[in-house]
Chain A
Amino acid sequence: MAKVIEVEHLYKSYPMAIGDPYPVLKDVNFSIEEGEFVAIMGPSGSGKSTLMNTLGCLDTPTSGVYKIGGEVVSGMNEDQLANVRSEKIGFVFQGFNLLMKRTLLDNVSIPLIYAGYGLDEQHKKAEEMLSHVGLQNFVERFPSQISGGMQQRVAIARALVNNPKLILADEPTGNLDTKTSVEIMNLFQKLNEDGKTIVLVTHEPDIADFAKRLIYIVDGVVHYDGPVSEFKGKR
């Protein structure tokens, strides 16, 4: 299996007003293969958000190598990173982050604008993706007219629409009730069964249970990396 993500000796530190830079990630190493479903967990302040931002190419590491699909991403400039985000990564956020004044169809179409598709093709693909997540009857609705669970499904459709190598989900169920959370996680599981590589950041063990592999981070260091089922005993 091809490697989707390779992280080697990744360091990230933030400059402080006074004194030495504050290290957040310290020598992080792991790789993720195509078709994996990985949960990243860790207590708050452990550096999992920073790791997430780095994996999502929103932030650049201080040192170390980060590759997506074999391509070295660390060291790229802003425009190159934007291209990587456009072509290889689909984001799902905790707060859904939909454009409230735009229809669901437009929301799902937006990544395709930046990928250079024409309007007709954008709408065709976006409609397909919306029906894939079961929202084919709501394409002309606005986000404010549908429930939180549905909004998150729109966000997932948006993440999937440009057929990325990697889905990054940052606390995707954080704003949802338990029942809806399970629905969303089932959707992720189904996507994973269809072959999508998914990386999920969460602090809820129940949510992490939907994944197959767990990377547990403490103080910027990978504390555990293995099957979710085996980690349970150590908690």
Chain B
Amino acid sequence: MEKNVEIIDQKIHMSRAVFRESWISIKSNKLRSFLTTLGIIIGVCAVVIMVAAGQTVQNMINDSFEGMGSNLLLVRPEFVATSGVKSGGQSVVKTGDADVIKKLKYIKAVSPIVNGTAQIIYGNENYMASIVASTPDYLYTGKWEIERGEGLSDRDVKSAQAYILIGKTIESNLFPSGESAIGKTVRVSNIPFIVKGVLKAKGQGMGGVDRDETVIMPVTTYRRRIRGSYIPNRVNYIMAQVDSDKNINKAKRYIENALRESRRLKPGAENDFRVDDMTEMVETVKSVGTYISILLASIASISLIVGSIGIMNMMLVSVTERTREIGIRKAIGAKNSYILYQFLLEAILISFIGSMVGMVLGIGISQVVGVILEKSVPISMLTVVISFSVAIIVGIASGIFPAIKATKLDPIEALRYQ
């Protein structure tokens, strides 16, 4: 028992001593150690910055999706195969489909949507607006709120009234003097419309689009007076809001069944429409952000590989230079394992110090850049984990070969080395 304690004590002493020997050897070659460490510092720093950049982009993407409900379903036309051949033609989604969906269980709001752009004019002012032609439910599915005035009614849609709701940017551009737009007659594609309501500001959307440039009008009015379509009542897509996240899959099935029935699709025939849930889309776009992070980090890690080759190079030179020292150490009782640990530890220490400095520097730089660009840059656990793993992995990977080379030296030969 006592003997075991003694052996453990000796091991502790020995590991401390080996650590001290490695540290002294790093210190006694200050310039060389610094330059080698610099390779790792730059490598880790680059990786940390790139990961931070990737995550910032990812956060920006996520932010722009925020508010877009995860309980939304999108019904869109699908390419159809006729007798096994995918024809170039697309099927269509019509306002009638929205009426079918609206009657289904779990569905809270449905809005068929046609998108377009049109010039909107009031007096001397004009603006290029993005048009969303839909139904009153669009306020729910599109998460809009009325700031002043009122929303569209079902009657407005039914009788294709020339009413519009306008975004804040449109209002401030058409009415620079600050008077209210409510009740004013503006021209959209040269057709007079009455402004029925002003929408609450939403700010920037994805890709820097100003969402307050939106003009909402009844889908019927758009089709009859602004832009018709060969197929009557054709819309771009239909947004359906489900009462709760839990029911999204059930609602999806209900919609599919109901539409197949109303479209008289034969059993076994493929759907000529598709129902996507938004979470899928959001996840897809989010995963793009992840790929960007990974790509950036991989590019940066090339510099890390170069840095680790730097350590290996230094260690190889060091082993050759210190052949005689290795011989002396062996002659006075060093086992091969001590020589191995000493050189391996040197490489690990250098890589560890480099990684830690690189991590701190990388976090610092990315925060400073974040402040300058007025973006909040996250400090992620990922960077810390990466830095520590790099420290150990690079150290071992670049140190093991030179260390083994050191242990293989024959003490007699090594002592003769000048």
Contact = CB atoms under 8 A, between A and B. Distances in A.
A85 B13 contact: no
SS class of chain B's interface: helix, strand, loop or mixed? helix
Interface stretch (B41-49, B114-122, B288-296, B328-336): B328-336
Contact of B21 (A58, A79, A113): A113
A53 B16 CA distance: 31
A112 to B, nearest CB: 8
B18 interface: yes
A114 B338 contact: yes
Interface string B316-353: 00000000110111111111111000000000000000
A82 B336 contact: yes
Interface residues of B, number: 30
Contacts of A86: 332-334
Contacts of A122: 17
A52 to B, nearest CB: 10
Given A58-B411, A97-B324, A85 B331 contact: yes
A122 B324 CA distance: 23
Given A85-B332, A91-B332, A114-B338, A99 B16 contact: no
Contacts of B329: 110, 114
Contacts of B336: 78-79, 82
Contact of A117 (B13, B21, B331, B335): B13
A119 B16 contact: yes
A82 B332 CA distance: 8
Contact of A99 (B14, B328, B331): B328
B13 A53 contact: no
B321 to A, nearest CB: 11
Interface in A45-70: 53, 56, 58-59
Interface string B16-33: 111011001100100000
B244 interface: no
A56 B415 CA distance: 13
B346 to A, nearest CB: 14
Contact of B412 (A53, A79, A83, A110): A53
Contacts of B25: 101
A interface residue count range (under 10 / 10 to 19 / 20 to 34 / 35 or more): 20 to 34
Q: Which of A83, A101, A113, A122 has the largest count of B CB atoms less than 10 A from its CB?
A: A113
B10 interface: yes
Contacts, number: 80
A98 B332 CA distance: 11
A15 interface: no
Nearest to B331: A91
Q: Which of B10, B331, B411 has the largest count of A CB atoms less than 10 A from its CB?
A: B331
B327 to A, nearest CB: 8
Contacts of A162: 333
A86 B334 CA distance: 7
A115 interface: yes
A124 to B, nearest CB: 13
A34 interface: no
A82 to B, nearest CB: 4
A118 B13 contact: yes
Interface string A86-124: 110011010001110110001000110111111100100
Nearest to A109: B17
Contacts of A106: 24
Contacts of B9: 116, 118
Given A53-B412, A93-B415, A114 B331 contact: no
Nearest to B10: A116
B17 A113 contact: yes
Contacts of B333: 82-83, 85-87, 111, 114-115, 162
Contacts of B28: 101
B203 to A, nearest CB: 64
Interface string B394-418: 0000000000000000011001000
B24 A102 contact: yes
B319 to A, nearest CB: 15
Q: Which of A53, A87, A97 has the largest count of B CB atoms less than 10 A from its CB?
A: A97
A90 to B, nearest CB: 8
Contacts of A78: 335-336
Q: Which of B9, B10, B330, B332 has the largest count of A CB atoms less than 10 A from its CB?
A: B332
B328 A97 contact: yes
Given A93-B415, A110-B329, A119-B20, A82 B13 contact: no
Interface of B: 9-11, 13-14, 16-18, 20-21, 24-25, 28, 324-325, 327-338, 411-412, 415
Given A86-B332, A91-B331, A158-B332, 19 more contacts: A53-B412, A58-B331, A83-B333, A83-B335, A85-B331, A86-B333, A93-B331, A93-B415, A102-B24, A110-B329, A110-B332, A113-B17, A113-B18, A113-B21, A114-B334, A117-B13, A119-B13, A119-B16, A122-B17
29 contacts: A56-B331, A58-B411, A58-B412, A78-B336, A79-B337, A82-B333, A82-B336, A85-B331, A85-B333, A87-B333, A91-B331, A91-B332, A97-B327, A97-B331, A99-B325, A101-B25, A101-B28, A102-B24, A110-B332, A114-B338, A115-B333, A116-B10, A116-B14, A117-B13, A118-B9, A118-B13, A119-B13, A119-B17, A119-B20
Interface of A: 53, 56, 58-59, 78-79, 82-83, 85-87, 90-91, 93, 97-99, 101-102, 106, 110-111, 113-119, 122, 158, 162
Q: Which 3 A-B pairs have the closest CB atoms?
A: A86-B333, A116-B10, A114-B333
